[in-house]
Amino acid sequence: MSNRIITISREFGSGGRTIGRQTAKKLGISCYDQELLEEMVKESGFAADYVKETSEYSPHNSWLSHAFSGRAMDGFSNEDFLWKLQVKIINEIAEKEPCVIVGRCADYILRGKADLLTVFIHADLAFRSKRIVQVYGESDDVPAKRLQEKDKRRQAYYQFYTDMKWGEARNYHISLDSGILGIEKCEELIAELF
């Protein structure tokens, strides 16, 4: 694959999706996030909500629990089926055009196959808590607990399917703190590196 691909991994609430979309817009290339989910729904026949939860989040907070849950006698699960489908779709997208892909372990899936710029977006808990209340309309009762739960499930999913540690700086080309740098500055920096 000769296309230049940007992958955006992110902590929940850090603005990674927004950064990915705006960076793609600035560069005049496609961004795949919801579009990837829609393709997975179409090809799998599973409900959209199920695919959304299952294709990025482990149903459990640890990779070990994930390894033993919901498996048929042959050891295969719906999550494994969706993983294989996700790998197929991400590879097809990367072969088609330069683009930004948000989440879904795309950094791992395309490693060694494409001209990649892998990015991890993070921010402190206070910034992310405030952001999910303002942007997503989350209840401000306990947003920090929801953030930590989502991140734990993302981490378990990532570790199970990649055998790598999610969010560890050495696994990405750049790691940006959107709470300190701001959403727009993150977009600018990524676009400059493209």
SS3 per-residue string spanning 124-141: CHHHHHHHHHHHHCCCCC
Q: What is the pLDDT of residue 52?
A: 84
- Name the DSSP letter for residue 146: H
pLDDT tens track, the chain, 194 positions: 689 999 999 999 999 999 999 999 999 999 999 999 899 999 999 999 899 888 777 665 544 554 455 545 556 788 899 999 999 999 999 999 999 999 999 999 999 998 999 999 999 999 999 999 888 877 767 788 889 999 999 999 999 999 999 999 999 999 999 999 999 999 999 999 99
Residue 173 CB coordination number (10 Å) = 15
What is the value of pTM for the model shown? Answer: 0.87
Task: Count the helices and strands in the chain (H runs, E runs).
Answer: 10, 5
Q: Which tokens sit at 169?
A: 């700086």
Closest CA to 160 of 75, 66, 79, 87: 66
Q: Are 107 and 101 in contact (CB under 8 A)?
A: no
Q: What is the pLDDT of residue 140?
A: 65
- Radius of gyration for the alpha carbons in the chain, expressed in angstroms and rounded: 16
Residues contacting residue 23 through CB under 8 Å, at least 6 positions apart: 6, 8, 31, 100, 187, 190, 191, 194
Q: Tell me the C-alpha distance between 127 and 118, whole Å.
A: 23
Q: Tell me the C-alpha distance between 189 and 174, whole Å.
A: 10
